């Protein structure tokens, strides 16, 4: 019987002051049912015992490769790890999360010759470690020329932006000199993924299984940027996607949906709704949004119509109602 060759997979973990969670994270990677791995941990100048914990684990399993750099932020740590990676494929983790045992094997088995990116669903774990909810995707393949549909479907379940629920081809990253933008302190993962997808010649695939556990704990890799200004930042960053959609001659409403989704999400997370509403009106963000009601989720259509009334009281009431709906679904948290 011919033996199947298992390609090497590089799992990249940046870690900063993650002494409470890093062992659990690394062990979940090493205990995959897929054995041909290298787990690259970059200690980002931690001031606690993170580095010593990582080195102890590496002594017990040679697949764990530990590096340390001067504190420079998660993007610099990931870039450093990419320079050391040798795998055919690359995956990412955060230092307070876990992979379920079959994650790598399922991601690799779906990276066929005509597929360049595979994305899975995930489980969200609350601050106290309890199960909060699952983000479920459908099992589906998208051809390269239907990138906009891949974006739309995964964005609806907050599954497009994260690095950690995906597997990438290292050759695409290296051949196109892709890297994390160290000048961006929020949304750098989104920009990396957009650029990666634009360089793919093959298609994209989503898996129905939830294979990653995303933790809302306060340990591990933390984003410390001020969340005020998220609306403006997100709309600025979406311009790169707008350019790609325009170059590919995608339907106009494809980018309209993404802009409206950003406005919806940002207003529901905003610390200053009044300022964000004024900014939306001042910059006329709603003017170029054109939607086909039959192809747009009802909540977005209703939200857009409310905002276009330019009545702050009605907008406040609507935003609070939408927040209440999220709370009833158990999803009333703010992403880091």
Q: Is the pLDDT of residue 109 over 90?
A: yes
Residues 124-141: pLDDT tens digits?
988 777 888 899 999 999
Please give the pLDDT value at position 2: 40
For 54, the 3-state DSSP assignment is helix
Q: What's the pLDDT band for 325 if we cut at 50, 70, 90?
A: confident
Please give the pLDDT value at position 333: 53
Residues 64-100: pLDDT tens digits?
999 999 999 999 999 999 999 999 999 999 999 999 9
Please give the pLDDT value at position 96: 95
Please give the pLDDT value at position 334: 52
pTM of the model: 0.91
Please give the pLDDT value at position 87: 98
Please give the pLDDT value at position 13: 98
Asked if 210 and 135 count as a contact pair (C-beta separation under 8 A), the reply is yes
The domain ranges of the chain are 9-215, 230-328
Asked if 89 and 169 count as a contact pair (C-beta separation under 8 A), the reply is yes
Between 66 and 221, whose confidence is greater? 66
Structure tokens at 139: 């099992």
The answer to whether the Cα torsion of 242, 245, 249, 254 is positive or negative is negative
Under CATH, domain 9-215 is a member of which superfamily? Spore Coat Polysaccharide Biosynthesis Protein SpsA; Chain A (3.90.550.10)
The answer to whether the Cα torsion of 148, 152, 155, 160 is positive or negative is negative
Q: How far is CA 246 from the centre of its chain?
A: 23
- Give the Cα separation of 112 and 79 in Å (integer): 26
Please give the DSSP secondary-structure letter assigned to residue 229: T
User: End-to-end alpha-carbon separation of the chain, Å?
Assistant: 48
- Going from the C-alpha of 171 to that of each of 4, 92, 107, 189, the distances in angstroms are 21, 16, 17, 18
Residues 28-76: pLDDT tens digits?
999 999 999 999 999 999 999 999 999 999 999 999 999 999 999 999 9
Please give the DSSP secondary-structure letter assigned to residue 7: -
Please give the pLDDT value at position 331: 60
Please give the pLDDT value at position 299: 86
Question: What is the arithmetic mean of pLDDT over 149-158?
Answer: 94
- Give the Cα separation of 231 and 108 in Å (integer): 35
Structure tokens at 106: 């399922």
Q: Is the pLDDT of residue 330 over 80?
A: no
Q: Is the pLDDT of residue 217 over 80?
A: no
Asked if 91 and 107 count as a contact pair (C-beta separation under 8 A), the reply is yes
- Mean pLDDT score across all residues of the chain: 90
Q: Among the listed ranges 116-130, 217-231, 243-257, which one has the minimum average pLDDT value?
A: 217-231
């Amino acid at each position: 019987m011919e033996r199947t060759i298992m390609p090497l997979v590089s799992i990249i973990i940046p870690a900063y002051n993650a002494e409470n969670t890093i062992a659990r994270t690394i062990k979940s990677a090493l205990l995959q049912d897929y054995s041909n791995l290298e787990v690259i941990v970059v200690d980002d100048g931690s001031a606690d015992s993170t580095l010593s914990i990582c080195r102890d684990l590496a002594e017990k399993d040679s697949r764990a490769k530990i590096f340390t750099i001067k504190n420079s932020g998660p993007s610099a740590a990931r870039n450093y790890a990419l320079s050391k990676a040798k795998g055919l494929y690359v995956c990412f983790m955060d230092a307070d999360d876990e992979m379920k045992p079959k994650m790598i094997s399922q991601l690799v088995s779906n990276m066929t010759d005509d597929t360049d990116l595979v994305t899975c669903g995930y489980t969200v774990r609350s601050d106290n470690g309890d199960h909060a909810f699952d983000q479920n995707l459908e099992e589906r393949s998208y051809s390269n020329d239907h990138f906009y549909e891949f974006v739309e479907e995964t964005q609806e379940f907050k599954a497009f932006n994260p690095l950690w629920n995906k597997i990438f081809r290292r050759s695409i990253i290296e051949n196109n000199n892709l890297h994390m933008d160290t000048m961006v302190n929020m949304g750098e993962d989104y920009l990396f993924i957009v650029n990666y997808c634009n360089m793919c010649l093959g298609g994209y695939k989503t898996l129905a299984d939830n294979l990653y556990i995303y933790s809302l704990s306060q340990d591990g890799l933390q984003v410390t940027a001020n969340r005020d200004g998220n609306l403006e930042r997100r709309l600025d960053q979406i311009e790169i996607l707008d350019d790609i959609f325009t170059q590919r001659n995608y339907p106009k409403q494809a980018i309209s949906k993404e802009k409206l989704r950003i406005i919806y999400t940002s207003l529901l997370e905003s610390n200053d709704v009044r300022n964000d509403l004024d900014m939306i009106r001042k910059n006329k963000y709603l003017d170029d949004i054109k939607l086909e009601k039959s192809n747009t989720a009802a909540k977005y259509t209703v939200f857009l119509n409310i905002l276009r009334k330019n009545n702050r009281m009605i907008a406040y009431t609507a935003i609070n109602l939408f927040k209440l709906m999220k709370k009833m679904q158990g999803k009333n948290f703010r992403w880091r």
